[in-house]
Structure 1
Amino acid sequence: MVSEEESVLLDLVQVFTGYLLCSCALAAVALISIIWFIRDSLHIHGIDEKHVLVTGCDSGFGDLAARQLDQRGFRVIAACLTEPGASRLRAAASPRLQTVLLNVTDSASVGSALEFVRNETGERGLWGLVNNAGISVPIGPTEWMQVDDFKKVLDVNLMGVIEVTLTFLPLLKKARGRVANVASILGRLSLIGGGYCLSKWGVEAFSDSLRRDMLHFGVKVSIIEPGFFKTQVTDLGLIEDDLKKRWNALPVEVRRSYGDSYLQEYTKLQAFSVGLLCSSDISKVTSCMQHALSARNPRTRYAAGWDAKLFWIPLSYVPTCVADFITGLLLPSPKDT
């Protein structure tokens, strides 16, 4: 039999042990957090001697990233699709920034950009490559798409990323540099039909394999996963015009299966969700690009935007039935179902 005094003593020992374990766990978490913060805050030296190539600089993330990296002191080579886009960027940046015309779907254009960059970087090699160029339209219900619609988006968002990366990889290896590929939260959670989600899932997979392959060569690869931001990718005017054309081109029996009001309800919900979630502060994305290029220890993945961190990425981890229910609230139901 255990006496009352011994029972009290055992209870005290258990309480003290529990308190000690909790304190040790909290101390360990605090220590790890401090170490992570310090490690995350360390930056490279000699930025003014390092060249970085950013694609898709005519507008949006690419345009702002090029200007910010230029202000930071990097030797920026901004790849633009059009000469007007390049001219606007040169006018807004320092004389140090260089521009080059680049169509990521054209191998000859990629080759010309390589020669330009090689001449600029010399023996130093290319420190950073930011694969930012991308398109979204056409997106919409899968049944409304043609095979060429998928190819159009995949050629820019995925095959363009792959070809540009492979082309510039020798220069990146020479500098033991960085690659930052812009994927999306839609590379974790497919919310809509068309090639966009497919392309971003592909960017995620390509980046993961590239990171592991390049580990031994000192080239570090990061993936940037933006949430919803106000750029051309989320331009409701472009998206709605394309959806109307697709709806009008559908066979009568297909339109009838969805119901006469489906297109209106679909575009209305798209406008609501984009208006609710889209942030105009695109610097949240370009800050991730800067960190990936300038941090001594760049992160493997960067979630950009409150919706990515607090909603979309957590949603990608829940059971599929739960994710399907929640995402289903963002889409209307066809009338025949």
Structure 2
Amino acid sequence: MWPYAVAALLALFLLRRWHRERQTVPRLSEKHVLITGCDSGFGNRLARQLDARGLRVLAACLTHTGAEQLRAATSDRLQTVLLDVTSSKSIADVTAWVREPHPIPSAGLWGLVNNAGIAIPSAPNEWLSKEDFVKVLDVNLVGLVEVTLSLLPLLRRARGRVVNVASVMGRVSCFGGGYCISKYGVEAFSDSLRRELRPFGVQVSIIEPGGFQTGMTDPAPLVKGLVRLWERLPAETQAAYGRRYLEKCDSRLSLVTDAATHALLSRCPRSRYAAGWDARLIFLPLSYCPAWLSDTILGFFLPVPASGTP
């Protein structure tokens, strides 16, 4: 008898959760959301998606071209602003602009989506310099932290939402360079921020995409970057890895933007959203496996150096 009772309770729990998550916050037309990295990829699509839902989108772009193209494809509600997340002055200027009575009202900023990020340079760690790591960390982690801290008073005033785009690479590090390190940092920062802001009514969510084809993962610049890194390596290191090592992702961006939209608009957002079948079925399960098992499984898919030992 008790198995049926447990099954019934579980079904009721899942039904209640499904019902709660389908309820959205009211007065969407009064909500202001700032999104970073809107030139292309997730940020661009999310800006269009939220604009279509009637929200007041503040789209932060790195380039004038990206801002102009986005304005041309959206309604008059959407406003663009230039933002370089590696520049403290640029962040301060955007914060001052957001604080003005226009574009946001005295109620504050409802949502912040930290989407801006880069993946290049990514390569075996031995191929990289300190500057290569810093370049990625400045955008993906340090810039994200500074933007968030600058806007927290406005988010707290609105009892709003922070959505940080991390990655499943923030759970399972599959390649060298600053990208995976930065995403582990985003996970840690988001966890601490969520607990700190809970008493203020601000909710923090993490999006963990799997492998998606965006401007950041365009294979052409990735390959060119690897070749440049390879050419600057000492001959001894080139021989250890071998030329074959050098020679040896999903376009459905809506899976990620739908998760971000739910985190912003649902009355009961989740703390984490896994986006993509590879994130749900491969990388998240791997993150809970013992190190020896995850290393063995990933070893079947990673390139093998010409000589694994000196």
Instruction: Specify the TM-score bucket, using the shorter chain as the normaliser.
Output: over 0.9
Q: Distance in 2 between matches of 1:260 and 1:44?
A: 55
Match of 2:14 among 11, 33, 37: 33
Alignment size in residue pairs: 306
Matched with 1:149 is 132
> Post-superposition shift, 1:206?
0.2
Could you tell me which amino acid in structure 1 is paired with residue 294 of structure 2?
A
Deviation by residue 1:274-316 (Cα, 9 ceiling, x = unmatched): xxxx211101100011101100011000001111111111111
Matched with 2:281 is 310
Q: Does 1:111 pair with 2:92?
A: yes
Structure 2 residue matching 1:169: 3-state secondary structure = helix
Structure 2 residue matching 1:124: 3-state secondary structure = coil
Normalised by the length of structure 2, the TM-score is 0.97
CA RMSD, 1 decimal = 0.8
Higher helix share: 1
Match of 2:122 among 136, 139, 148: 139
Match of 2:152 among 169, 192, 197: 169
Larger deviation, residues 232-241 vs 172-181? 232-241
Matched with 1:335 is 306
Match of 1:250 among 209, 212, 233: 233
Match of 1:129 among 112, 118, 128: 112
Could you tell me which amino acid in structure 2 is paired with residue 259 of structure 1?
G
Structure 1 residue matching 2:273: 3-state secondary structure = strand
Could you tell me which amino acid in structure 1 is paired with residue 43 of structure 2?
G
Q: Distance in 1 between matches of 2:118 and 2:194?
A: 24
Q: Distance in 1 between matches of 2:167 and 2:240?
A: 32
Matched with 1:300 is 271
Matched with 1:217 is 200
Q: Distance in 2 between matches of 1:122 and 1:66?
A: 20
Residue identity over aligned pairs, in percent, reads 55
Q: Distance in 2 between matches of 1:188 and 1:260?
A: 29
> Post-superposition shift, 1:145?
0.5
> Post-superposition shift, 1:53?
0.1
Structure 2 residue matching 1:111: 3-state secondary structure = helix
Structure 2 residue matching 1:121: 3-state secondary structure = coil
Matched with 1:93 is 74
Q: Does 1:61 pair with 2:32?
A: no
Q: Distance in 1 between matches of 2:18 and 2:205?
A: 18
Match of 2:260 among 262, 271, 289: 289
> Post-superposition shift, 1:233?
2.0
Matched with 1:232 is 215
Match of 1:47 among 24, 28, 31: 28
Q: Distance in 2 between matches of 1:105 and 1:185?
A: 23
Could you tell me which amino acid in structure 1 is paired with residue 75 of structure 2?
S
Could you tell me which amino acid in structure 2 is paired with residue 209 of structure 1?
S
> Post-superposition shift, 1:261?
2.7
Q: Distance in 2 between matches of 1:336 and 1:312?
A: 28
Q: Distance in 1 between matches of 2:80 and 2:114?
A: 15
Structure 2 residue matching 1:180: 3-state secondary structure = strand
Structure 1 residue matching 2:106: 3-state secondary structure = helix
Q: Distance in 1 between matches of 2:44 and 2:238?
A: 40
Q: Distance in 2 between matches of 1:37 and 1:66?
A: 26
Normalised by the length of structure 1, the TM-score is 0.90
> Post-superposition shift, 1:122?
3.0
Q: Distance in 1 between matches of 2:60 and 2:243?
A: 44
Matched with 1:14 is none
Match of 1:325 among 274, 293, 296: 296
Could you tell me which amino acid in structure 1 is paired with residue 90 of structure 2?
S
Larger Rg: 1
Could you tell me which amino acid in structure 2 is paired with residue 294 of structure 1?
L
Structure 2 residue matching 1:99: 3-state secondary structure = strand
Matched with 1:16 is none
Runs of 4+ residues deviating >4 angstroms: none
Q: Distance in 2 between matches of 1:150 and 1:45?
A: 43
Structure 1 residue matching 2:17: 3-state secondary structure = helix
Q: Distance in 1 between matches of 2:306 and 2:105?
A: 62
Question: Structure 1 regions of 5+ residues with no counterpart?
Answer: 1-19, 266-277
Deviation by residue 1:234-276 (Cα, 9 ceiling, x = unmatched): 11111110101111110011111122332122xxxxxxxxxxx
Matched with 1:3 is none
Structure 2 residue matching 1:32: 3-state secondary structure = helix
